[in-house]
Amino acid sequence: MLDKPVGPSSMRAVAVVRRRAGGLKTGHGGTLDPLASGVLVLGLGKATKLLEQIVATDKGYETEIDLSIRTNTDDMEGEPEVVEVAKPPDRATVETALRQFVGDVMQRPPAFSAIKVGGRRAYALARQEKPVDLPPRPVRVNRLELVAYQWPVATITIACGKGFYVRALARDLGQTLGTGGCCRSIRRTAVGPFSIEEAIPLDDVPDPLEPHMLLSVESALTRLD
């Protein structure tokens, strides 16, 4: 398990580990955006067969949402646009708004996402300023908790199923509150039974990769049962 830093893509992190593992087949169990950090579960060799099962597990996140701005990417990669708010919402109002996003809900993915539209990635079309119309998809949200709030930043922990977009939550929360909504940070804290506490920072992965640092296929299967 890697603790991916902000900056490199998930595939870049995979390439680093593959190289340090002597070219052993390597894949990941769920993409993290370049501007997101946290748990990235990797499978090496025969363990790559488990990755589809890992992708399907629930996830945990912590995000800081800035309610005073919006961007076309729903995070800080885009150009920020200040949203004037006559009266900032109080904590109780934000908590009430969050409740409508818990349970089995429909969520429209961000325009800047890897979903394919007519054979092309949505983000590629969005970068060319072409219209991207992604229909809402069903997602499961087990828990949303407002752990800190000082206008304009709301810090929220999330427990959700696969296919959930944290950036879409920021966008939709802002629309519900009549404010901006943009992720200042996203950190994945868990992928199924694999937590951030046991993840290894990418910079700490030795070259060559030491076998004792890897979880066996049998141990991984036990956790997934």
71 Cβ neighbours under 8 A, 6+ residues apart:
77, 78, 79, 80, 81, 182
Cα separation, 191 vs 94, in Å, equals: 27
Q: What is the CATH number of domain 59-109+136-190?
A: 3.30.2350.10
Question: Residue type for 221, please?
Answer: L
Give tens-digit pLDDT for 15-49. 999 999 999 999 999 989 889 999 999 999 999 99
Dihedral class, residue 122 (left if φ above 0, else alpha if ψ from -120 to 50, else beta): alpha
Give the phi and the psi of residue 104 in degrees, each rounded to 5: -90, 110
CB 155 within 8 A of CB 185: no
Q: How confident is the model at residue 134 (pLDDT cuts 50, 70, 90)?
A: confident
**H or E segment at 155?**
strand 153-160
Q: What is the CATH number of domain 2-56+192-224?
A: 3.30.2350.10
Report the catalytic residues.
Answer: 33
Same fold, 2-56+192-224 and 59-109+136-190: yes
Give tens-digit pLDDT for 151-201. 999 999 999 999 999 999 999 999 999 999 999 999 999 999 999 999 999
pLDDT score of 132 more than 90 = no
Residue ranges covered by each domain of the chain: 2-56+192-224, 59-109+136-190
Would the CA dihedral through 104, 178, 95, 33 be positive or negative? positive
